[in-house]
A and B are shown apart, each in its own frame.
Chain A
Amino acid sequence: MSDHHFPQTTEPLRVAIRRLRWFRTAFAQQLAEVTAETGVRFTLDDRKLAAAFVQWLRHVEAQKPGDRTQRRAYFDFASGLMLRDLLRDLPITAGPLPLDADLSRAEYYWPEGFACTVFCLNMHAAVVEQEFDASTTTTPKFFDIRHWWSFRENVTEDANTAIGFFDVFVGLEPEWQIPDSFRLRLDRALIAKKNAERLSA
């Protein structure tokens, strides 16, 4: 996975990413980087990408918290939602794999899923760095093909599970029951924190 290179913008990334044109350019640029690293080419369907963007935008705008202390959790959540909407509409199609492609590697096992996930992870890392001056890490599970088997199978049945897998890849506690609710996510986090405090008291 490459460092996060995104198109230049005079706006904060959290604003730029909510503009379809910049979003499209950033996504296409990431695809080109994945292609350069893996040899897998992608065809991008602009109409499907716009549909995924509109869905994502509406969900993140509707669940934007009023409390500024929840911003970091909200950015984590918004990145997982982005992955869900990209995987649900799947605006890309991978071309043929290189002859020496190793199918035990995620980028060849599920090229479309890998490319969308890399985009969301890099976008998340870039926004977190810009907004919070913090770095993010990718857990070893991201590199474990067994997680990708489960990821692909679950997302095919229910796209919402992509949010949980995104959390797993960035080292957050996943919410599997109703993953697309930011409010529920916060409530669960609060309960977990209280339980931990009670145990340590």
Chain B
Amino acid sequence: MPHRPTASDATPLKDAARGLRFAFDKGRATLKQALPLSLLPEPLAKAAGSALAGMDQITNAAERQTRALARSLLPEDTSTTTSLDDLTNAAGAEHRFAAAFYRGMQFSLRALGVDTALISETTASATYAQSLQHGTAASDTALAARLMPALIAAGTLRDATLPATLDMTFAELTRLATFATLLALLSDDHDLTVTLPACANMALALRSEIAAAQNDEAALHRLFDEFRHHV
């Protein structure tokens, strides 16, 4: 009997569609930087422009089909109102966490000045499940402190296009965005669209302490406890 995909199999499909889009966007940006169409002589410029447009169409079609397949297996959760506590106590917690984390990271990265990034929802889901294999965390802030180094080490943020004006490395961007997202999931207001800009600015204000904490769960736990009610 052929393998029939289950609902949770949709997450890698969503990731695949996003990966396709990211790779194309990044490739196009690199190509445009290396080969400015405006400087090419005609008819070369026209040919190169048509080739890029053709690639764009192929990517759009592939992305649409993959997304449609993913949606048919698992309706896309686009809610922006959630908290870590609610997610932990819900059925299918790892998938719900991963979806919320994905959206949170998008907002965090945007607030930090990065518009194009590749975030793996599949990795976030697996990391969440693995973190709970070590036993239940004593509190939601303890869980966030456990998750943060694990999400970073697992490479949940796969890649990002860093603007030239950004004053941080990819590693620091990953740390700050992950901290901001988890802080937003702990804060008293559960609307990520509202809390994340403030959480990102708070993460920036705490950047040296977040960098110093690295994988120190106790230090991260203290920071989450200290600031969760002050977003």
B194 contacts partner chain A, Cβ-Cβ < 8 Å: yes
Number of interface residues of A (CB under 8 A): 14
Q: Could you tell me if A21 and B198 are in contact, using CB atoms closer than 8 angstroms?
A: yes
With a cutoff of 8 Å between Cβ atoms, the chain A residues found around residue B229 in the complex are 18-19
Q: A21-B189, A21-B195 are in contact. Are A50 and B202 (CB under 8 A)?
A: yes
* CA of A21 to CA of B201, assembled, Å: 10
Distance between A107 CB and nearest chain B CB, rounded to angstroms:
27
Q: CB within 8 Å of A: which of B170-207?
A: 188-189, 194-195, 197-198, 201-202, 204-206
Distance between A63 CB and nearest chain B CB, rounded to angstroms:
15
Q: A20-B198, A46-B197 are in contact. Are A51 and B204 (CB under 8 A)?
A: yes
A105 contacts partner chain B, Cβ-Cβ < 8 Å: no
A198 contacts partner chain B, Cβ-Cβ < 8 Å: no
Q: Could you tell me if B230 and A18 are in contact, using CB atoms closer than 8 angstroms?
A: yes
Closest to A51 in B: B205
Distance between B15 CB and nearest chain A CB, rounded to angstroms:
31
Query: How many inter-chain residue pairs (CB < 8 Å) link A and B?
Result: 37
B231 contacts partner chain A, Cβ-Cβ < 8 Å: yes
With a cutoff of 8 Å between Cβ atoms, the chain A residues found around residue B205 in the complex are 47, 50-51, 53-55
Q: A46-B197, A50-B198 are in contact. Are A21 and B231 (CB under 8 A)?
A: yes
With a cutoff of 8 Å between Cβ atoms, the chain B residues found around residue A51 in the complex are 204-205
Q: Could you tell me if A21 and B194 are in contact, using CB atoms closer than 8 angstroms?
A: yes
Q: Could you tell me if A20 and B231 are in contact, using CB atoms closer than 8 angstroms?
A: yes
Q: Could you tell me if A19 and B231 are in contact, using CB atoms closer than 8 angstroms?
A: yes
Q: A20-B231, A21-B189 are in contact. Are A47 and B204 (CB under 8 A)?
A: yes
* CA of A24 to CA of B229, assembled, Å: 15
A168 contacts partner chain B, Cβ-Cβ < 8 Å: no
With a cutoff of 8 Å between Cβ atoms, the chain A residues found around residue B195 in the complex are 21
Number of interface residues of B (CB under 8 A): 15
Q: A21-B194, A21-B195, A21-B198 are in contact. Are A50 and B230 (CB under 8 A)?
A: no
A57 contacts partner chain B, Cβ-Cβ < 8 Å: yes
With a cutoff of 8 Å between Cβ atoms, the chain A residues found around residue B204 in the complex are 47, 50-51
* CA of A47 to CA of B230, assembled, Å: 15
With a cutoff of 8 Å between Cβ atoms, the chain B residues found around residue A18 in the complex are 229-230
- 1/0 per residue, CB under 8 A from B, across A23-65: the answer is 0100000000000000000000011011101110100000000
* CA of A21 to CA of B204, assembled, Å: 15
Distance between B47 CB and nearest chain A CB, rounded to angstroms:
45
Q: Could you tell me if A47 and B231 are in contact, using CB atoms closer than 8 angstroms?
A: no
Closest to A21 in B: B198
Q: Could you tell me if B230 and A19 are in contact, using CB atoms closer than 8 angstroms?
A: yes
Q: A21-B189, A21-B194 are in contact. Are A50 and B231 (CB under 8 A)?
A: no
* CA of A83 to CA of B2, assembled, Å: 69
* CA of A18 to CA of B202, assembled, Å: 13
Q: Could you tell me if B198 and A57 are in contact, using CB atoms closer than 8 angstroms?
A: no
Closest to A61 in B: B226
* CA of A47 to CA of B113, assembled, Å: 12
Q: CB within 8 Å of B: which of A51-99?
A: 51, 53-55, 57
Interface centre among B188, B189, B195, B230 (most CB of A within 10 A): B230
Interface centre among A24, A50, A51 (most CB of B within 10 A): A50
A-B contact sample (11 more), CB < 8 A, given A20-B201, A51-B205, A54-B227: A19-B188, A19-B229, A19-B231, A20-B202, A20-B230, A21-B189, A24-B198, A50-B202, A51-B204, A53-B205, A54-B205
List 27 A–B pairs whose Cβ atoms lie within 8 Å, in order of A's numbering. A18-B229, A18-B230, A19-B229, A19-B231, A20-B201, A20-B230, A20-B231, A21-B189, A21-B194, A21-B195, A21-B198, A21-B231, A24-B198, A46-B197, A47-B201, A47-B204, A47-B205, A49-B201, A50-B198, A50-B202, A50-B205, A51-B205, A53-B205, A54-B202, A54-B205, A54-B206, A54-B227
Q: Which 9 A-B pairs rank lowest in CB-CB distance, beginning with the nearest?
A: A50-B201, A54-B205, A51-B205, A50-B205, A20-B198, A21-B198, A46-B201, A47-B204, A47-B201
